Amino acid sequence: MRTRPPRTDARRPGLHARRPALAALVASAAAVAVLTLPQPAGAAESSPVGFGAGTTGGGSATAVTVSTLDAFKAAVTGSSAKVVRVGGTISLSGQVDVGSDTTVLGVGSPSGFTGGSLRLKKVTNVVIRNLSISKAIKRDAITVQSSTKVGIDHNSLSSDRDHGKDYYDGLVDISHASDYVTVSWNVFKDHYKGSLAGHSDNNADEDTGHLRVTYHHNWFDNVNSRIPSLRFGTGHFYDNYVVGAETAVHSRMGAKMLVENNVFRSTQVAVTTSRDSDEDGYANLRGNDLGGAATEISQVGTFTDPPYGYTAEPASSVVASVTAGAGAGKL
């Protein structure tokens, strides 16, 4: 741990920028060779809480249900409004790109993907919900690049820790100036590198002023680190339950983190601002139950008032809420 005294980030401007308008939704879904069904109640994600507020995905577009890889690829292509329901577990090799104005929703138990990745690249207004995604070899389970307005909600994301830390990549990685993202009510389990926001110390020109991400009510169970790791951006981490981490929240390269009302158990370092990067980050902590975990706060920040409405439940009720409600099949 560094011994120099804490600084404040008064010299760095805040990143509270005006939210961009939502992209307009196109009226009809792309034609695909899949079964078309009426959209069930609750299939489309309601607007997330946090920086991803206003994300609607495919909205009220007529849903299609798919159960094969080819049908899924066809269904998620393009920028027309669409709701794609995934039935059963589909094996992936590599990654599948998801288009703008899309909701991908798991139905049944379990439903989702194994072996590969979903990628959101240069898209906007996407919801990924109620999926089980496992063992994405050499890939992130969900990759978000150069994309805005994303909600990742009620998914179960996992691999194993029987291999080295680089056999898999991250579970949710957010990079290349992606912005206005909420990651909520997910289970991250049995993995080394949980969630990276900002992929490189050398990407300041692209990332500064972006990477605004909210993480709330997620359960990180036996995840070693990056819970999350944030560079350059602004992160709000509240009401999460972290068990079995080596290092959890990591603010670096001038990132600003508000860490609020979380619970940490069997964790060595709950929050650090001073590891592994050329520049430290900033962190403000309030209302957390550290469970004996250490903190390494070299710089105390000024990000204490998120620019959106939310209600943070007290840490005393987080374990019960998160274990009962997080993950696929808990809608």
pLDDT at res. 14 = 36
Query: What is the predicted pLDDT for the residue at 165?
Result: 77
Active site residue 161: no
CB of 300 closer than 8 Å to CB of 247: no
* Active-site position among 85, 226, 252, 275: 226
pLDDT at residue 140, as a whole number: 92
What pLDDT is attached to residue 160?
80
Mean pLDDT by 10 residues, the chain (331 residues): 40 36 33 31 61 97 98 98 98 95 94 96 98 92 98 94 79 98 97 94 98 98 97 98 98 98 98 96 98 98 97 98 97 86
pLDDT of residue 331: 86
- Domains in the chain: ranges and CATH: 107-325 (2.160.20.10)
Report whether 213 contacts 235 (CB < 8 A).
yes
Contact 133, 159 (CB under 8 A): no
* Measured distance CA(85)–CA(104) in Å, rounded: 6
Predicted pLDDT of residue 46: 65
pLDDT reported for residue 25:
32
Count of CB atoms situated within 10 Å of the CB of 272: 26
Tallying the residues shown for the chain, one arrives at 331
Q: Give residue 43's pLDDT.
A: 34
